[in-house]
Amino acid sequence: MNIFKKSILKFILSFLFIILIDILLLFFSVNYIRNHQSALQIIETISSNINYSNDRYKVNPVADRLIKEEKLWVMIIDKDSGREKFNIHKPDHIDDHFDYADVVKFSRYYLNDYPIFSQVKEKDNDIYLIAFPKNRIVRYNSNYFEINRIKIFPFIILSIIFLNCLFCFVLYTYSVTFLNRKMKPIINAIATLPNGLNKEITSVQELDRLTLAVNSANQKLRTNEAFKENWISGIAHDIKTPLSVIVSNTALAIEKTNNEYLLKHLQTTLMESYYIQNLINDLNIFARLTNGNLKLNLELVDIIPFFKEIIIQIINQEIWEAFNFEFIPDSRLTGKKMKIEKALVSRVFHNLIYNSVLHNPLGCDIKIILEYVSDHRFNIIVRDNGAGVSPERLKSINDYNIEEFNFDISGVRRSGMGLKISQQIIDLHDGQLILTSQQGEYFQSSINLPLHSTHTQDN
């Protein structure tokens, strides 16, 4: 669940939690008020503590104290005639005779704005009227419920709960959909930003600043990538011309001299010059791989002749006195083709050969094996019997990420950049590069690539 869904869900759950707390507070408040209603208790206490005997009414101290504390007045009328028989603190403007209609009215509502409660004493044929202060009690009109209406209360409550839940669900769904619709283009743009956007994202009114920032970052990245690629290409071009002169003149000097001391230095110079040429080619490809817009120029190539030609080109450099090459093609690959960008796969093959040369200055044997795997795949194996690498170094090379590769110009010879570039190129060709080594015994690079099937070719 993403952050927007979590935030909206938390909001809705908080909303429901608040509603639940409100319901509980309302319930406890009503219950508290009901438990602290004292009017009926006061009426019962007063009426029970006024007694009639010997033709007179006697008010007990308990009733007298309550009447004074609560500021009440009391009136006792005859049940049959409605005439006053006794009163306590009755205001002068209150009548002393009432008919049945008057009793019904003030028993339910008010008597001269006084809230009145009545209590009937059958044995004395009396009606006790107990009046509270005007600002003490509120009487309301309706004090009944029909049974049928009470029965539907549970359904009403459940319906309200259901509608609230439905509202929350609709609110959640709409909010998530709205946010996803607004944010999805920006999230996708941010995810693809390192590789560059095909086009600027449309401005979202609620997220104008973020949209502007993403588009601005994309433009700057494109500018920087273009500058980097052009700069590397320009530097490579400027170096290639004088380097070609150095290589050709050094090779010519090697042919013309028999001085062993001079030959030793010339051959070292020629080997390092070829290394620089290889490095420049790697830098050009590195720029293409990291700009995020690399498109392969694929073409059908005969497998065995392609690799044989590369090996011949390498051997013709005449700097391999301490190195022995052996090319072992699988006869089952005769006439088979692969679909590749020739320059890139050639670059991979050169890198694997130069990797063996670079790490074995005293020389070694290098085997290049073409191996038929199936009707759909084949292997290219480059194996030397040289120094190899440590397990830690091999792991760091295998656990590569070309986009996170930290290029250290001061240690480019040790960086393994050539192998990292090779691995990326093979990935782009739907292949797999596996590096294995045993320190002091061997180093092997195994490339698995797809064969171009006859069926695919016909189509």
> What pLDDT is recorded for position 371?
95
End-to-end Cα distance, the chain: 45
Mean pLDDT of all residues in 47-64: 86
- Determine the pLDDT at residue 459: 43
Q: Identify whether residues 47 and 123 lie together within a single domain.
A: yes
Q: 308-317, pLDDT tens digit by residue?
A: 999 988 888 7
Do the domain assignments include residue 290?
Answer: no
Same domain for 171 and 76:
no
One domain, residues 165 and 26: yes
At which of 144, 170, 191 does a domain end? Answer: 144
Output the domain CATH number for residue 302: 3.30.565.10
The tokens describing 362, both together, are 């005293």
Whether 136 and 154 map to the same domain: the answer is: no
| pLDDT at 412 (0 to 100) | 46
Of residues 94 and 284, more confidently modeled: 94
Domain boundary residue, one of 101, 118, 144: 144
Indicate the helix (H) or strand (E) that contains 3: helix 3-35
In a domain, 242, yes or no: no
Least Cα distance to 363 among 349, 384, 382 occurs for 384
d(CA 426, CA 441): 26
Exposure b/e, 301-339, CB count within 10 A at least 16 = b: bebbebbeebbeebeeeebbeebeeebebbeebeebbbb
In 316-380, alpha helices (H): 342-358
Q: Provide, rounded to the nearest whole percent, the portion of the chain with pLDDT above 70.
A: 80
Q: Highest mean pLDDT: which of 7-16, 263-272, 327-336? A: 327-336
> What is the Cα–Cα distance from 63 to 59, expressed in whole angstroms?
6
Neighbours of 66 (CB within 10 A): 20
Cβ-based neighbours of 242, under 8 Å, separated by 6 or more: none
Q: How far is CA 420 from CA 80, 192, 295, 345, 398, in A?
A: 114, 22, 18, 13, 8
Contact 338, 317 (CB under 8 A): no
3-state helix, strand, coil in the chain (%, to 5): 55, 20, 25
The residue-averaged pLDDT of 283-299 equals: 74
Q: Is the pLDDT of residue 42 over 80?
A: yes
Q: Residue 423 has what pLDDT? A: 86
Is 256 among the domain residues? no
Asked if residue 208 is part of any domain, the answer here is no
Q: Say if 302 falls within a structural domain.
A: yes
State residue 305's pLDDT score.
94
Are β-strands 377-384 and 364-372 bridged in parallel, bridged antiparallel, or unpaired?
antiparallel
Instruction: Give residues with Cβ within 8 angstroms of 60, minimum separation 6.
Output: 49, 50, 51
Residue 210 has pLDDT above 70, yes or no: no
CA distance 289 to 423: 11
| Average pLDDT of the residues in 348-362 | 86
User: 83: part of which helix (H) or strand (E)?
Assistant: none
Are 26 and 51 members of one domain? no
Q: Which residues contact 413 (CB under 8 A, 6 or more apart)?
A: 358
Confidence of residue 144 (pLDDT cuts 50, 70, 90): low
- In terms of average pLDDT, the best of 102-106, 206-210, 442-446 is 442-446
pLDDT recorded at residue 409: 44
pLDDT of residue 207: 59
- Say if 194 falls within a structural domain: no
Kindly report which listed range (35-39, 265-269, 278-282) carries the lowest average pLDDT score.
Answer: 35-39
pLDDT above 50: residue 411 = no
Same domain, 12 and 127: no
Mark whether 335 and 405 lie in a shared domain.
yes
- pLDDT, residue 381, reads 95
Asked if residue 444 and residue 366 are part of one domain, the reply reads yes
So what's the pLDDT on residue 456? Answer: 47
pLDDT value at position 304? 94
Share of the chain above pLDDT 90, in %: 18
Q: Which sign does the torsion angle of CA 341, 343, 346, 347 carry?
A: negative
What is the residue range of 397's domain?
Answer: 295-458
- Tell me the C-alpha distance between 80 and 125, whole Å: 8
Q: What is the DSSP string of 249-315?
A: HHHHHHHH---HHHHHHHHHHHHHHHHHHHHHHHHHHHHHHHTS------EEEEHHHHHHHHHHHHH
Burial class (CB in 10 A: 0-12, 13-18, 19+), 228: middle
Three-class secondary structure of residue 52 per DSSP: strand
Question: pLDDT-based confidence at 345, cuts 50/70/90?
Answer: very high
- Residue holding tokens 């107990």? 130
Query: Among 175-189, 200-214, 397-411, 412-426, whose mean pLDDT is lowest?
Result: 397-411
73-78 β-sheet, strand order? 84-88, 73-78, 126-131, 114-121, 110-111
Strand 364-372 and strand 323-329: the pairing is parallel
- Least confidently predicted of 188-197, 235-244, 439-448: 188-197
- Inform me whether the pLDDT recorded for 175 exceeds 80: no
CA distance 456 to 146: 84
- Residue 410 reports pLDDT greater than 50: no
The number of domains in the chain is 3
The answer to whether residue 283 is domain-embedded is no
Same domain, yes or no, for 31 and 127?
no
Q: Which residue has the tokens 């690629």?
A: 229
Residue 21 maps to a domain: yes
Q: Is the pLDDT of residue 30 over 70?
A: yes
In the predicted structure, residue 318 carries a pLDDT above the cut 80:
no
Regarding whether 92 and 170 lie in a shared domain, the answer is no
Query: Where is the domain boundary, 163, 179, 195?
Result: 179
210 alpha carbon, distance to own chain's centre: 17
Residue 405 phi/psi, 5-degree rounding, is -65, 125
Looking at the structure, tell me whether residues 452 and 347 fall in a common domain. yes
List the one residue out of 375, 394, 406 whose CA is nearest residue 434.
394
Of 91-100, 147-156, 225-234, where does mean pLDDT reach its minimum?
A: 225-234
Mean pLDDT (whole number) for 121-139:
84
Residues with Cβ within 8 Å of 347's Cβ and at least 6 positions away in sequence, in order, are 281, 282, 285, 421, 422, 425
Most confident range (mean pLDDT) of 25-39, 71-85, 406-420 is 71-85
Tokens of 413: 């010879």
Query: Distances in Å between the alpha carbon of 209 and those of 2, 142, 204, 206, 352?
Result: 21, 60, 9, 9, 48
Residue 228 token pair: 């980097």
3 state DSSP class of 196:
coil
If you average pLDDT over every residue of the chain, what do you get? 80
Q: How confident is the model at residue 444 (pLDDT cuts 50, 70, 90)?
A: very high
Average pLDDT over residues 309-331: 85
What is the token pair recorded at 193?
A: 């930003």
Q: Which residue has the tokens 């920006």?
A: 186
Q: Find all residues with CB under 8 Å of 287, minimum gap 6, and list them.
A: 228, 229, 232, 233
54 with 136, same domain: the answer is yes
